[in-house]
Amino acid sequence: MKNWITDHFSGKYLFSATPPLDNELTITLAIIFGVIIFLGIIIIAILAKKARRIPPYQDLKDRVANTFINFGIIGLMLVFFRWQEIPYLSAPILVLILIIVFLIYLSYTIMFWRRTTVKEIIKFKKEKAYRKYLPKKQSK
């Protein structure tokens, strides 16, 4: 295990224009990015259902869609470039940067959900409860 880590995280490997093809790593990365897309679709479906009843979930759904679907597609493109051994586009540093940016953007999305969306949901529910007791408008 230590040899794998030192081999795959060495500067020579990370910055090589055409790294040696490692089928096991390529398949693993393809599965990981495929799962990211699949999770994104599932989360979007769940949030879309909630957004029909509670509109503040719409913003969260859009952010999750952007995060998971875009990063999953970009990751699969990088895996394809790696599989085809295209110079510079198959550099392992690009996959590492993509994973780091994905984790940062995912944490930003979670913070948005915790800070903004929760407050908007509480505000929406209070407003809904308030409107429930208002007199109905009568059309003449």
> Tell me: the pLDDT tens digits for 51-100?
888 888 888 888 888 889 999 999 999 999 888 888 888 788 888 899 89
Tell me if 131 is assigned to some domain.
Answer: no
Residue 48 main-chain phi, psi, to 5 deg: -65, -40
Tell me if 133 is assigned to some domain.
Answer: no
Decide if pLDDT at 3 tops 80: no
Cα-based distances in Å from 127 to 46, 83, 93, 121:
24, 54, 49, 10
Tell me if 15 is assigned to some domain.
Answer: no
Tell me if 8 is assigned to some domain.
Answer: no
Side chain identity, residue 82: R
% residues pLDDT > 90 (the chain): 22
Tell me if 137 is assigned to some domain.
Answer: no
The tally of domains found in the chain comes to 1
Domain residue limits at 76: 20-124
Would you state the pLDDT for residue 76? 93
Tell me if 51 is assigned to some domain.
Answer: yes
Tell me if 129 is assigned to some domain.
Answer: no
pTM exceeds 0.85: no
Tell me if 120 is assigned to some domain.
Answer: yes
Would you state the pLDDT for residue 77? 93
Q: Which residues, 6 or more positions from 76, have their beta carbon under 8 angstroms from its beta carbon?
A: 30, 33, 34, 37
Would you state the pLDDT for residue 65? 86
29-48 pLDDT, tens digit each:
899 999 999 999 998 999 88
Q: How confident is the model at residue 8 (pLDDT cuts 50, 70, 90)?
A: low
Q: How confident is the model at residue 2 (pLDDT cuts 50, 70, 90)?
A: low
